[in-house]
């Protein structure tokens, strides 16, 4: 079955460490996204990519980095520069530009201890 | 940038009741999304609509483009419908970037 796989589901990180969240899709989608969700807030866009080897910052990109070396993969690195990294992270993908159904992964819970 | 507002924030219903969740947005859009987030966090796309009405099982979504308003209805609600329902609209025009409402937490009691 086609879908989006995020891993790990739960992750604990010590302050000062970088951590990478994996996102893989087999839907052959061009566009991929990373969102952050905090309690009581809507999802906020961290980074997005509309095509391989290209990505753009979203609304809250500071302290995060991404790569898009393959169409099916869009990993997110939460760096030590991210001041408040404890959150729920969601990866999503869609077929392309304008008015396409968006598909989400199951999300990753990151806790900084 | 589009502003997306949902109401109510929380909704408690008895099994069998008819549910309505509202969403308004500030900028004209190509399509609006309704999403369902399960307690475990995963999100499923329910509808994407640009005009009129769509129906899937007991779920109905409507949109009024002129009034910049959409509603999600659930008929004959069931405890398994308990979830957070989120609407999302493009930041502008046909953009693929979405702005999300804060969600409506629905609890359906047996």
A6-63 tens-digit pLDDT: 999 999 999 889 999 999 999 999 999 999 999 888 899 999 999 999 999 999 999 9
Distance (Å, whole) CA B68 – CA A9: 36
| B88 vs A contacts (CB less than 8 Å) | 43, 102
Closest CA of chain A from B93, distance in Å: 8
Distance (Å, whole) CA A57 – CA A13: 24
Distance (Å, whole) CA B71 – CA B64: 9
Distance (Å, whole) CA B18 – CA B106: 12
What's the CA angle centered on B92, arms B87 and B98, to 5 degrees? Answer: 35
Q: Which candidate from A48, A100, A109 shows the least CB-CB separation from B97?
A: A48
Q: Is A94 on the interface with B (CB under 8 A)?
A: yes
Closest CA of chain B from A82, distance in Å: 22
Measuring CA to CA, which residue among B6, B21, B11, B19 is closest to residue B89?
A: B6
**Looking at residue A39, what is its pLDDT?**
85
- Where do the DSSP E strands lie in B1-110? 4-7, 10-14, 19-25, 32-37, 43-49, 52-56, 59-64, 69-74, 83-90, 98-100, 104-109
**Looking at residue A36, what is its pLDDT?**
96
Q: Is A107 on the interface with B (CB under 8 A)?
A: yes
Contact B43 A107 (CB under 8 A): yes
Contact A104 B42 (CB under 8 A): yes
**Looking at residue B31, what is its pLDDT?**
85
Q: Is the pLDDT of residue A91 over 70?
A: yes
Distance (Å, whole) CA A13 – CA A16: 8
**Looking at residue B95, what is its pLDDT?**
63
Q: Tell me the count of A-B CB pairs closer than 8 A.
A: 69
Distance (Å, whole) CA A4 – CA A81: 27
In chain B, the residue whose alpha carbon lies closest to the alpha carbon of A38 is: B102
A11-to-A22, A74, A87, A107 alpha-carbon distances in Å: 12, 18, 10, 11
Mean pLDDT by 10 residues, chain B (110 residues): 91 98 89 91 90 96 94 97 95 74 96
Q: Is A45 on the interface with B (CB under 8 A)?
A: yes
Name, in order, each residue with C-beta under 8 angstroms of B31's C-beta and a sequence gap of 6 or more: A98, A99, B48, B49, B50, B90
Please state the rounded mean pLDDT for residues A77-82: 92
B41-to-A93, A104, B82, B84, B106 alpha-carbon distances in Å: 17, 10, 13, 9, 14
**Looking at residue B91, what is its pLDDT?**
80
Please state the rounded mean pLDDT for residues A87-99: 85
**Looking at residue B98, what is its pLDDT?**
87
**Looking at residue B40, what is its pLDDT?**
82
Closest CA of chain A from B95, distance in Å: 5
Instruction: Say if CB B43 and CB A104 are below 8 A apart.
Output: yes
Closest CA of chain B from A42, distance in Å: 4
In chain B, the residue whose alpha carbon lies closest to the alpha carbon of A31 is: B96
């Amino acid at each position: 079955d086609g879908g989006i796989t995020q891993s790990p589901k739960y992750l604990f990180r010590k302050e000062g460490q970088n951590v990478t969240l994996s996102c893989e899709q087999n839907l052959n989608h061009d566009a991929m996204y990373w969102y952050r969700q905090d309690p009581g807030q809507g999802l906020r866009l961290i980074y997005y990519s509309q095509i391989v080897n290209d990505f753009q910052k979203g609304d809250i990109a500071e302290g995060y980095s991404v790569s898009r070396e393959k169409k099916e993969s869009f990993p997110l690195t939460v760096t030590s520069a991210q001041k408040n990294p404890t959150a729920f992270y969601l990866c999503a993908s869609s077929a392309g530009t304008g008015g396409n159904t968006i598909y989400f992964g199951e999300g990753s819970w990151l806790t900084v201890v | 940038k589009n502003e997306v507002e949902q109401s109510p924030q929380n909704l408690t219903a008895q099994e069998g009741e008819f549910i309505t969740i509202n969403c308004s947005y500030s900028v004209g859009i190509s399509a609006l999304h309704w999403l369902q987030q399960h307690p475990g966090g995963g999100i499923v796309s329910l509808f994407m609509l640009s005009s009129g009405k769509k129906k899937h099982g007991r779920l109905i979504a409507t949109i009024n483009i002129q009034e910049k308003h959409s509603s999600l209805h659930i008929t004959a609600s069931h405890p398994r419908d308990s979830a957070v329902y989120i609407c999302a609209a493009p930041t502008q025009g046909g953009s693929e970037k979405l702005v999300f409402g804060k969600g409506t937490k629905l609890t359906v009691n047996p």
